[in-house]
Amino acid sequence: MAFIIDQQNQGSFIPTTGIFEVGRLFEVDVDSPEFKELLARLYQAVNNIANVLNIKDTGYYLESEFTTGALYFNPASDDPNKLRPVFRKVIDIGALAAGVTTVAHGLTIGTTWKFVHIYGAASGTPNYYPLPFVSAGGATNIEVRVDLTNVIVTNNSGVVFTSSTVVLEYVKE
């Protein structure tokens, strides 16, 4: 069983085909070299599973900082294996009226931080919009930005929303 991390194409992958003949497990002498090879293969299989699970992007969206499991390239290194962990935090913006809404994000942003994804959604029946939102005409956009202390949402859509959230994903070094 091969453990593959293909940064160019598909991410991590472990084949799902079986590599052990279960019937043979009961026939193998525990003192034989064949049994030692079986143990080595089992150890390798468990290690491969742990490696793949550790780099999968975790689907938790919390209001506290969370390490997603995703990895981001490091421009400060020539080593392609020196990747940076991605962190995620959800900010509950709440009701979103026309104009500017500012909500503290509670992060202490350092000089080496980089935001890699800022997105969200606003809802108010029957209107559901992605954040940020770009209208066809350009005049009714909803802008989302982050500064050192706040998430700032500028709502020019003409729609009043009853709830909204913004997701921040970032690397720290």
The region that residue 63 occupies, defined by phi over 0 for left and psi between -120 and 50 for alpha, beta otherwise, is: alpha
pLDDT tens-place string over residues 60-100: 899 999 999 888 998 888 888 888 999 999 999 999 999 99
CB distance 49 to 15 below 8 Å: no
Peptide bond between residue 85 and the one before it cis (omega within 30 degrees of 0): no
pTM given for the model: 0.76
Q: Give SS3 for 59.
A: coil
Q: How confident is the model at residue 6 (pLDDT cuts 50, 70, 90)?
A: very low
